[in-house]
A and B are shown apart, each in its own frame.
Chain A
Amino acid sequence: MRSKKPPMSASTIVLQIVMVMVALIFLAPFYFLLVNSVKSLGDIMVDAANWPTAFHFDNYSKAWEMTRFPEAFTNSIIITVISNLIIALLSAMAAYRMVRSNTRFNRIVFMLFVSAMVIPFQSIMIPLLQVINFLGVNNSIVGLILSYLGLGIPLSVFLFHGFVKGIPLEIEEAATVDGASPFRVFARIVMPMLKPMMVTVIILNCLWVWNDYLLPSLILQSPELRTIPLATFAFFGQYSKQWDMALPALVLGITPIIIFFLSLQKYIVEGVAAGSVKG
């Protein structure tokens, strides 16, 4: 059901036109990227703004093979999915306990989490690699996921913490009176109520982990472990002036996250707004 919009005034029409033009400027880089990704190198050099005279879709098959795209895509998916599931679960549990058991210890732990959000990654990356080496998980997906867990938990706990505070205690008490164990109460009653914040946390962490370049570049050395940003970086370094190779590789690189965004945009936009509200 769509409500009928009131007619627009003259100034609104001008505003409308201006906004559409600004949007076209925002989209222009994508136009250049897509159009030139199917041109031959010669055509790109002659005129980068034109519509292609001949479509070289084989640019894509070359880039697909040379970036080992399926492999990079799989690695990115595995890393993003596993770290997200664990971060979301562990953070929800920790935040729940901190709110419901407001001891001094828990308050200190919460303060630590909040303070840690200020620490820039560059301030801990050098010794973090030492720790990863010490644990024997360097150059492995396990090592990378392990790092994401610790780095992702503070913000996620912070977000859940604010949310749990708004959940009334009565429902849980009723379930406890009915004989449900604490773990059952959490799994069956609290978790479902956390769903809106769960979506926010997962979306924010997905965008972060999927797009991250620096941490995986430090931990993963083997080419077969490369994620999409790593594979793109390595490929771009080799073919930076060969735009007929580099551009299709870039298009491949951004396609999964663009599809993810366009299909879930309502949740993503809401998640961003909800994730920024202070707890």
Chain B
Amino acid sequence: MNSKRTAALTQQLVYIGPALLFFGITIIIPFVMGMYYSFTDWNGVSGNVEWVGLDNFKQIFTNDSAFAQSFWFTTKFTIVGVLLTNLVGFFLAYFLTKNIRARNWLRTIFFMPNVIGGLLLGFIWQFIFIKGFATVGEATGIPFFNLPWLGDEVTGFWGIIMVFVWQSSGYLMVIYIASITNVSKEVMEAAEIDGANRFQVLKSIIVPLIMPAVTVCLFLAISWSFKMFDLNLSLTKGGPYRSTESLAMNVYNEAFLNNRYGLGTAKSLIFFLVVAVITLIQVRLTKQKEVEA
């Protein structure tokens, strides 16, 4: 009996021990430390860490217009980004599950931007916005291309959105394709025999049956857009005048540019709470809409 327990304990240690150890070192411990630091005035350098109670949070909510601004920017970005990437991703998938030639090639092309990291993508697009758009604008005279891209708040916002959609919709497309292919042919044919038109099939059959994929895709898109950092850094660096600064970048700047680590961790704690709440609400809402085929 005792040796059996020892054996079980050994297995537990060998199989789960290492994973749990690394998880503890890089996530649990920093997470708990972060909670503590968010109530201090730690500056990251000196060993002198003083408890300041709720001062950091007071400061953030009452006296930090840049944080409020970045929160608003991130919220807008998330709403627009999530809608657009999902719409583009879904319709790419919808049309690429139809009987057209070269659809495998087309899928590859639409997915490709996604394998490149946000940082390099942003740099590539900086060139497109600055030189490419200008050239096209000169040649065609279309006002859209002659806007001061990335130069002001509005074009900065839509510039990042454009690159974000270009980067992410292919990924969502792949998930939607897998889900649409699973909708049984018989159900669709039955609907067509009953006289449903394409729009009705799309609205009343395909969309309800792929709700699990919608849950996943909304989840992914919200999480990407709310935590967006790399694209932000490489496209606008938050400028001009911090008007396109995302929350993730605001947290980063507070800690590593201003050296206010205590304040930075307080912000990062708020950031976590918001992400957690959004995720829970969203998963609950879309789960209710899922139907069985």
A250 at interface by CB-CB < 8 Å: yes
* B31 interface hit (Cβ, 8 Å): yes
Q: What is the distance, in angstroms, from B236's C-beta to the closest C-beta of chain A?
A: 13
Residue contact A27 to B109, C-beta cutoff 8 Å: yes
Q: Is there an interface contact between A97 and B12, defined as CB atoms closer than 8 Å? A: yes
Q: Are B117 and A96 in contact (CB under 8 A)?
A: no
B22 partner, pick from A5, A112, A149, A272, beta carbons under 8 A: A149
Query: A269 to B111, Cβ gap below 8 A?
Result: yes
B27, A154: Cβ atoms closer than 8 Å: yes
A80 vs B215: C-alpha distance when bound (angstroms): 30
Complex alpha-carbon distance, A127 and B31, angstroms: 7
By secondary structure, the A interface counts as: helix
Chain B at the A interface: mostly helix, strand, loop or mixed? helix
Please, which residues of chain B bring their CB within 8 A of the CB of A278?
Answer: 212, 215-216
Closest to B254 in A: A126
Taking A116-B23, A120-B275, A123-B272 as contacts, is the C-beta distance between A211 and B118 under 8 angstroms?
yes
Which residues does chain A contribute within 8 Å of B92, judged by CB atoms?
22
Q: Is B11 an interface residue (CB 8 A)?
A: yes
CB-CB under 8 A for A98 and B31, given A26-B166, A213-B117, A273-B175: no
Chain A residues within an 8 Å CB radius of B276: 118
Complex contacts, A49 vs chain B, CB 8 Å: 132, 135-136, 139
Number of A-B contacts (CB under 8 A): 261
Kindly state the separation between the CA atoms of A8 and B219 in the bound complex, as whole angstroms: 36
User: A10–B115 Cα gap in the complex (Å)?
Assistant: 34
Do A32 and B113 form a contact, CB below 8 Å, given A127-B34, A146-B22?
no
Q: Is the CB of A123 within 8 A of B123?
A: no
Q: For chain B, which range describes its interface: under 10, 10 to 19, 20 to 34, or 35 or more residues?
A: 35 or more
Q: Is B82 an interface residue (CB 8 A)?
A: no
B139 neighbours in A (Cβ, 8 Å): 49
Report yes or no: B175 in contact with A153, Cβ–Cβ below 8 A.
no
- Say if the beta carbon of B106 comes within 8 Å of chain A: yes
Q: Are A109 and B26 interface neighbours, CB within 8 A?
A: no
A277 within 8 A of B: yes
- Tell which of A168-176, A194-202, A257-265 binds the partner: A257-265
Most buried by B among A149, A212, A243, A276: A276
Chain B residue contacts of A273, Cβ below 8 A: 174-175, 177-178
Within 8 A of A (CB), among B233-283: 233-234, 247-248, 251-252, 255-256, 261, 264-265, 268-269, 271-272, 275-276, 279
A contact residues vs B (CB 8 Å cutoff): 5-6, 8, 12, 15-16, 18-20, 22-23, 26-29, 32-33, 36, 44-45, 47-49, 90-91, 93-94, 96-98, 101, 106, 109, 112-113, 116, 118-128, 130-131, 135, 146-147, 149-151, 153-154, 157, 182-183, 186, 207, 210-214, 218, 229, 232-233, 236, 240, 243, 246-247, 250, 253-254, 257-258, 260-262, 265, 268-269, 272-273, 276-278
B residues contacting A by CB (< 8 A) are 7-8, 11-12, 14-16, 18-20, 22-31, 33-34, 37, 44, 92, 95-96, 98-103, 106-113, 115-120, 123-128, 131-132, 134-136, 139, 166, 171, 174-175, 177-178, 212-213, 215-217, 220, 226-227, 229-230, 233-234, 247-248, 251-252, 255-256, 261, 264-265, 268-269, 271-272, 275-276, 279
